[in-house]
Amino acid sequence: MAAEPRYRGVFPVAPTIFHDNGDLDLEGQRRCIDFLIDAGSNGICILANYSEQFALADEEREVLMRAVLEHVASRVPVIVTTTHFSSRICAERSRRAEAAGAAMVMVMPPYHGATIRVGEEQVAAFLRALSDAIGIPIVVQDAPVSGVALSAPFLARLARETENVSYFKIEVPGAAAKLREMIRLGGDAVEGPWDGEESITLLPDLDAGATGTMPSGAYPDLLRPIVDAHAAGRRDEAVHAYERLLPLINYENRQGGLIACKVLMKEGGVIASEAVRHPFPPLHPATRAGLLDIARRLDPLVLRWAR
């Protein structure tokens, strides 16, 4: 592993904030970003799948990106997700993100729907084209939603052979084993082995060598002490904090999905609406109540930041 990666720690995915009618709520978005920074986030990711990027128009993506980067004003590094099937469009999105002040971009391998995929060599060529277009690090998102199998040897090869491909968000079954093998094969070229999926596998992934995590934006203040303690060699402290937090992580990941973060932010007054865009359904009232019950037992900042 590189002695000092440029970026490490907790980089939550910021939700996209809407009014009840589905319009963008840019003031609510700014409040969301301020909360994430106050909660101790090492950085922030925007326009990811958990940001409902798939429900946004291209023009809205640009508005959100610029509004967030201008509001952050370099207080923390920001990752902009620029995923697209087309190498050309992904590169264009990424150049605009870099010019606007993004610290990194995150992309998934090219895919569309349930069946349109390309092979490893095309994925490698896609990432080479992206790397040639920008001068900032690329985070490769390895997630089941793409349906693309990215083996540890292939990811390590990408890190070794493609200049800006240096960070990897691993959120597939067996993430810890994959991280460990990728780090073994890629060496210093794997600058940022990170986990994701609401940090539900955080502890084994940290034990495997992960240096960062990309959870939802609900409670970075509770995740940061785990990552910091583990990095400082205080594993017992990290284990204790993780065990305490795991029921909430599990409830968010398995019951609440991408709306859970907005529910907690709405309940704490960070944002005015927990709306998601139609046809995505709102959270069932019983599920919402269960989420809040577990969260209140842990007293996260999100429930009191605006009070």
Q: What is the pLDDT of residues 127-186, one digit of tens each?
A: 999 999 999 999 999 999 999 999 999 999 999 999 999 999 999 999 999 999 999 999
- Band of the pLDDT at 290, cuts 50, 70, 90? very high
Q: What are the distances in angstroms from CA 306 to CA 197, 212, 270?
A: 26, 27, 6
User: For 23-37, how does the pLDDT look when each residue is reduced to its tens digit (9 = 90+)?
Assistant: 999 999 999 999 999
| Token reading at 41 | 């986030």
- Band of the pLDDT at 1, cuts 50, 70, 90? very low
Please state, in angstroms and rounded to a whole number, the distance separating the CA atoms of residues 65 and 265: 20
Residue 120: its pLDDT value, please?
95
Residue 4: its pLDDT value, please?
84
Is 178 among the catalytic positions? no
Percent of the chain with pLDDT strictly greater than 90:
98
Specify the CATH number of the domain 9-227.
3.20.20.70
- Give the Cβ contact number of residue 2 at 10 Å: 13
**Type of residue at 47:** L
Q: What is the DSSP string of 168-218?
A: EEE-STTHHHHHHHHHHHHGGG--EEEE-GGGTTHHHHHHTT--EE--BSS
Residue 233 predicted with pLDDT over 80: yes
Q: Where are the domains of the chain?
A: 9-227
140 contacts 165 by C-beta, under 8 angstroms: yes
**Type of residue at 22:** G
pTM beyond cutoff 0.95: yes
